[in-house]
Structure 1
Amino acid sequence: MALAVYGHPFSSYTQKVLIALYENGTPFEFRNIGPDTPEHTSEWLRRWPLRKFPLLLDGERQLVETSIMIEYLQLAHPGPVRLLPADPMAALDVRFLDRFFDLHVMNMVQRAVDGALTGNPTKRQEGMATAVEKLELAYAWIEGQLAGRTWATGEDFTLADCAAAPSLFYADWTHRISDAYPQLRAYRARLLARPSVARAVDGGRPFRPLFPLGAPDRD
């Protein structure tokens, strides 16, 4: 059985896994979770009642949590692009930045999104205020790490960049990366120009009106 991914093309974490699959040209079936495909939704919920996507299915083996899924793909379905270095110490650096982008960038975007989804103006304002504060801290830190690097950890595109691409894509929509962070702005631009990332972004393009903070007319 071919690989299957349950998710949604506008979901940042779904895009993270799609980027890894696109990087290596790995064949898979995308099973969209939405109102037009109730069969996919019911199967996804049967397999993962915690209601988080994406979910990766390889035969009867299922995996959740995006970082684990991408590491699994490298082990079970390796391709020409190695997304986690063979050297253990280098791999540790990649894993750290993967967690950094998920926890300190994307999760802060989600804080603002969740506030907006409540429909409560006070909660929207509180969620955005927290997101702005934390994203500014994250932007400043990663700006200092990117000097002299093409990708998150150096010259090789890795798991960390799979995490960074959707995180920074939506973070800039939520709280614009200012000119005070030229390294970070240039890195985000390189990510969006990468074919695997561009393909993932284009897949979510029809759903931009659903972004609760208002999608800007760019990217």
Structure 2
Amino acid sequence: MPLTLYGHPFSSYTQKVLIALYENATPFGFHCISPDHPENTADWLARWPLRKFPVLVDGDKDVVETSIIIEHLQQVHPGPARLLPTDPAEALEVRFMDRFFDLHVMDAAQHAVDGAITGDASKRRDGLVKSVAKLERSYAWLEARLAGKTWATGDQFTMADCAAAPSLFYADWVHRIPDDHQGLRAYRSRLLARPSFARAVDEARPYRELFPLGAPDRD
């Protein structure tokens, strides 16, 4: 039975899983969650009433949370691209960086997005201030951490990079990575050039008007 992914192309966390699927050319069907597809929304909520996506359906199993989905794919539907190392210490490093990008980059950027969605000027301002403060700290840490590395943990593209790509993509829209963080800016550029993420970005282009802060005319 083919895999089915419930999500939205413009969603950062949906993109994280899409990158993993595209890296291994894993066959799957995509069910978009949007007002235009109420039947998909109803099925998605029946499977995961916590109202978070993406959700991966694998036969009679519903798999949720992006990092768990990617690990499930590696265990049950492995491909040539191994996104989590076999060495326990190396795998732990990948998991740590995966969590860092989700919790300290994407979630940091989300404060500004959430504030803008309210339509309240003061909440928009406060959300952006909070995002900028958190992202500044994360950017500085990453600039040092990524020195000498091609990808998040070294020379191998991993689950951590699946998390990094959409996180840094949208975070840079919220608060541009400073020019003096050349290593981090170059890493974001390498992610954008990666075919799996480039495909996800292109598929999301029709939805850029949904970005509540106003999508920049780049990327």
Match of residue 4 from structure 1 = 4
Residue 182 of structure 2 aligns with an amino acid whose one-letter code is P
**Once the 2 structures are TM-superposed, how far is the Cα of residue 109 of structure 1 from its aligned partner?**
1.1
Q: Please report how far the alpha carbon of residue 37 of structure 1 lies from its aligned counterpart in structure 2 after TM superposition.
A: 1.1
Q: Are residues 1:80 and 2:80 paired?
A: yes
Size of the aligned set, in residue pairs, is: 219
Q: Secondary structure at the match of 2:206?
A: helix
Give ranges in structure 1 of 5+ residues lacking alignment: none
- Aligned residue number for residue 155 of structure 1: 155
SS of the residue 2:154 aligns to: coil
Report % sequence identity: 70
Letter in 2 for 1:22: Y
> Whole-Å Cα distance in 1 between the matches of residues 48 and 205 of structure 2?
27
Matches within 5 A, 1:12-91: 12-91=12-91
CA RMSD of aligned residues (A): 0.5
**1:77-99 Cα deviation digits (max 9, x unpaired):** 00000000000000000000000
Runs of 4+ in 1 over 4 A off after TM superposition: none
Alpha-carbon distance between aligned partners in 1 of 2:180 and 2:170, rounded to the nearest angstrom = 18
Q: Could you list the per-position Cα deviations for residues 49-68 of structure 1 after superposition, in whole angstroms to 9, with x for gaps in the alignment?
A: 11000000001101110000
1:97-136 residue CA offsets vs partner (Å, 9 max, x unmatched): 0000000000011111000011111111110000000000
Alignment match, 1:123: 123
Separation in structure 2 between the aligned mates of residue 110 and residue 146 of structure 1, nearest angstrom: 23
What does residue 109 of structure 2 align with? 109
Report the TM-score when normalising by structure 2. 0.99
Distance (whole Å) between structure 1 residues aligned to residue 91 and residue 36 of structure 2:
40
Distance in 1, Cα, partners of 2:85 & 2:147: 21
Per the TM alignment, residue 148 of structure 1 is displaced from its structure 2 partner at its CA by: 1.0
Residues in 2 aligned to 1:60 and 1:54: alpha-carbon distance in whole angstroms: 16
Letter in 1 for 2:4: A
Query: Which secondary structure does the structure 2 equivalent of 1:31 belong to?
Result: strand
CA distance in 2, matches of 1:74, 1:125: 41
Instruction: Give me the TM-score of the superposition, normalised by structure 1.
Output: 0.99
- Give the 3-state SS of the residue equivalent to 2:73 in structure 1: helix
